[in-house]
Chains A and B, each alone.
Chain A
Amino acid sequence: MSAQDTLAPDTPVENPAPAGPDYQEILYNGLWKNNPALVQLLGLCPLLAVTSTVVNAIGLGLATIVVLLGSNIAVSLIRNYVSEAVRLPAFVMIIASFTTCIELIMQAYTYELYQILGIFIPLIVTNCAILGRADAFASRNPVLPSAVDGLMMGLGFMFVLVVLGGMRELIGQATLFSDMHLLFGDIALGWKITFFSDYPNVLFAILPPGAFIGLGLLIAIKNYYDEKEKQRVAKAQEGQEKVSRRVRVTD
């Protein structure tokens, strides 16, 4: 059975380019073009469940970045020694080990945040974005590009988490960066910005339906921007051709 058969049909397989890795491409893929949350729509369960405030989003985003970075490096290191048949269980074991580490670290240093995020920290194991990157990229690429890919995918995921968390916190309770001390210690006690003091809490934005609608809006905005950008590029190219033709005509 080849790798292609066992993958989900829409999992992108990225084979290494013959001329060596293109780090700019990896960066652009992770942060924007192939963003795990906005384009691949992977890892939606934690994305929708915990993004009720910015601090939750950053906490889960950092944990996911660490797991994604670690698992990508480890998977890339063992990629030539694990047979095709058992690679998925091996990847899951690696991811689970990293998740356990991060869970214990959060339990030790950010206990309150650990309690707020609850089941969603252990559930990082089942985040499809991580297994997807391990299988689609890290198992076919050398260590350094895999590490960069893990970092960029993680940053792209966290970026969406934070934007969504900010949106929901702002609409839900008219604050930003509340409770940041849970993650950053006492220096963050004064970071909370309150916009209206007598704001009626919009429970809907804090509850899961608000997350679905918020994510839908973010995806719509991204697609709209991409479409505009495509039109702009097309227009610019058209303009160039015209200019060159005109030069020839005046000759």
Chain B
Amino acid sequence: MSLLRITSPHTHRAGRRTSWVMQMVILATVPGLITQTYLFGYGTLINLVIACLTALLSEAFILKLRNRPIGFSLSDCSALLTAVLLALALPPTVPWWLTVTAVSFSVIFAKQVYGGLGNNPFNPAMVGYAICLVSFPVPMTQWIGASEIIQAGAVPSFSDSLAAIFGSLPTIDSYTMATPLDAFKHKDGLMSSEAYASIAGLQSANLVSWMYVNLAYLAGGLLLIWLRIITWHTPVAMIAGLGLMANVFYGLDPDNAASTIFHLTSGAVMLGAFFIATDPVSSCTSNRGKLVYGLGIGILIYVIRTWGGYPDGVAFAVLLMNFAAPLIDYFTQPRTYGHKKAKKGLTIGGEK
């Protein structure tokens, strides 16, 4: 008699392999990708191509060094997903070598050095992003503004995007503009109402374009929840954490703090909530753990945005909570079947 031997994870639906999950997550970023391309030009698409090529090459290179099967690991698409997330997170005008650095660093050092997919304690894409943000702050904070209010009057053409990425584009300044978060951070003591009226980056066209980006990622994220690739816990907790902090401080001081809706619809909140914080490897496993983890990210994003040195804090918040994820999991183990109470915290392994 032949027995069918199946190794874990024992999923209840057949055919949902790692590569399927990764491909679906990549597909779910398509609305965001289209929106970013529409609003900021072809730079994101060019970055995407560079990032994917770099990810595949560096993954193959390091697998060869480690004497691991190359085709097997490449075909699970996890390196591609890292590349896609990074390409979406990087500004559309970054030079090509910056994308190459970010992607190769995240694949080689953040993922493969720790032992490959499933062993990395940190989100690889965010490690690559943080390295570049620390090393090259100028190109990393240069975003294209909404086409109505920038000098050039239109998004960069394909050739201009290529020139910005592969060489130098003298007219780059006519396209770029401070993002709403950056502009709000440097409003230099102006009241919020004055800032909205006078600072270019805070004009409604710019705010709206970032809102569209976030809505597109929200749509992609809802698709992931509908496909049951991610659960609602992390994103909801993260958005709630950020919203709560923003609400409290906006309520206390509406003249200087940004409103809740401003915080939720600018920067990388939705991309972070649905695509980055939900990374199954580096985030929490239990449902209650995911709630704590997401809440922590949300609070940290607000803290970094408001009192930190960088305009947006999604990458650093996710990395900091990645540190805490194993501890949170330790304290939030669910009740196992047959036990009356969940074993959690200090009672694990003890008598009590």
Binding site for B on A (CB under 8 A): 200-205, 207, 213
Contact = CB atoms under 8 A, between A and B. Distances in A.
A51 B265 CA distance: 43
Interface string B162-194: 000000000000000000000000000000000
Interface string B134-148: 111001000000000
A204 B135 contact: yes
A202 B139 CA distance: 12
B134 A203 contact: yes
Contacts of A213: 109
B131 interface: yes
Contacts of A205: 135
Nearest to B130: A204
Contacts of A204: 131, 134-135
B86 to A, nearest CB: 16
A203 B139 CA distance: 13
15 contacts: A200-B136, A200-B139, A201-B135, A202-B101, A202-B135, A202-B136, A203-B134, A203-B135, A203-B136, A204-B131, A204-B134, A204-B135, A205-B135, A207-B134, A213-B109
Nearest to A207: B134
Interface string B219-230: 000000000000
Contacts of B135: 201-205
Interface string B105-137: 000010000000000000000000001001110
If over half of B's interface residues share one DSSP class (helix, strand or loop), that class is named, otherwise mixed; here it is: helix
Given A202-B135, A203-B134, A205-B135, 12 more contacts: A200-B136, A200-B139, A201-B135, A202-B101, A202-B136, A203-B135, A203-B136, A204-B131, A204-B134, A204-B135, A207-B134, A213-B109
A200 B101 CA distance: 12
Contacts of B131: 204
Contacts of A200: 136, 139
A89 to B, nearest CB: 39
A213 to B, nearest CB: 7
Interface in B34-80: none
Among all A-B residue pairs, the 4 with the closest Cβ atoms: A204-B135, A203-B135, A202-B135, A204-B131
A203 B101 CA distance: 13
Contacts of B136: 200, 202-203
A156 B148 CA distance: 62
A209 to B, nearest CB: 8
A207 B137 CA distance: 14
Interface string B193-212: 00000000000000000000
Output the residue of B101, B131, B135, B136 with the most chain A CB within 10 A. Answer: B135
A200 B138 CA distance: 10
A171 to B, nearest CB: 10
Contacts of A207: 134
Output the residue of A203, A204, A207 with the most chain B CB within 10 A. Answer: A204
A201 B139 CA distance: 12
A128 to B, nearest CB: 26
A211 to B, nearest CB: 14
Contacts of B134: 203-204, 207
B102 to A, nearest CB: 11
A31 B117 CA distance: 37
Nearest to A202: B135
A204 B102 CA distance: 12
A43 B63 CA distance: 33
Contacts of A201: 135
A217 to B, nearest CB: 10
Contacts of B139: 200
A66 to B, nearest CB: 35
A200 B136 CA distance: 8
A204 B101 CA distance: 12
A201 B138 CA distance: 11
B24 to A, nearest CB: 33
B28 to A, nearest CB: 31
A203 B136 CA distance: 7
A203 B134 CA distance: 7
B60 to A, nearest CB: 19
A118 to B, nearest CB: 23
A213 B113 CA distance: 11
A213 B105 CA distance: 11
